[in-house]
Structure 1
């Protein structure tokens, strides 16, 4: 399988619209508008024990927007050459991750909720779960 040559520089923070009201704030997300892809799957992680790491994989085709719906955590992006750490701690910021980027999710605060908007339905065949395999694919060694 071919692994996209995207780099960590192709991933970016997207500021989502925030409607401020004295009764509370609202952020609405529309598929293909605020998010640069059509949303096919939504899931969230919660009750993550302190010190745990999540992620530890890359995708062949899947695009994601990761949002800290509550609390905070760090996303470590890795393109096989460069690593970049991004802290998510505002529910109106999303991290857009392109295919072919390894991600580790660390430093979860108590009560964190990590919301993921994904471009594809779940498919185990789209995952790369072994880091050495990821590096080989990024270097063109199948």
Structure 2
């Protein structure tokens, strides 16, 4: 398996305070070709979203506004927590990584994904994630 770890991606911040800023990315700057873009907003702070992993999909999660706390767990059981509160940063989520997100009420989450949506790509039960990926991680030690 060619495992990539979750990590922060920095986007450029162009402009100045009197006129505002723009951040941009293109496929050549991403760890994958973008096939889908979606966003979430007005999520209550008490709600934890995500709670899944993907077989194939790679994602970059950006807090376009507000704050998002992204927790990840890889196949080896290593947990990382990323706090996104600048629109110039995103967190890369590779396949086979369980992830959850918790938002400030004003958060707008922008997600860039490597695949079009298909329900078959989702692992929605944590025990299934551990069974699918935990076995592979144990075999690679």
Match of 2:3 in 1: 6
In structure 2, stretches of 5+ residues that fail to align are 137-141
Greater helix proportion: 2
Matches within 5 A, 1:1-142: 6=3, 10-21=5-16, 22-33=18-29, 35-80=30-75, 81-106=77-102, 108-140=103-135
Q: Are 1:39 and 1:118, in contact at CA under 8 Å, matched by a contact in 2?
A: yes
CA contact (8 A) 1:32 1:39 kept: no
| Alignment coverage as a number of residue pairs | 134
Q: CA shift at 1:5, angstroms?
A: 7.2
Distance 1:123 1:116 in 2: 15
In terms of fraction of residues, the more strand-rich structure is 2
Q: Secondary structure at the match of 1:42?
A: strand
Give the Å deviation of 1:20: 2.2
Decide which moves more: 73-82 or 122-131: 73-82
Q: Using the alignment, how far apart are the partners of 1:61 and 1:32 within structure 2?
A: 20
Superposed CA offset, 1:100-139 (max 9, x none): 0000112x11211000000000010100000000000113
Unaligned runs of 5+ in 1: none
Q: SS of the residue aligned with 1:140?
A: helix
Runs (4+) of structure 1 moved beyond 6 Å? none
RMSD after superposition: 1.5
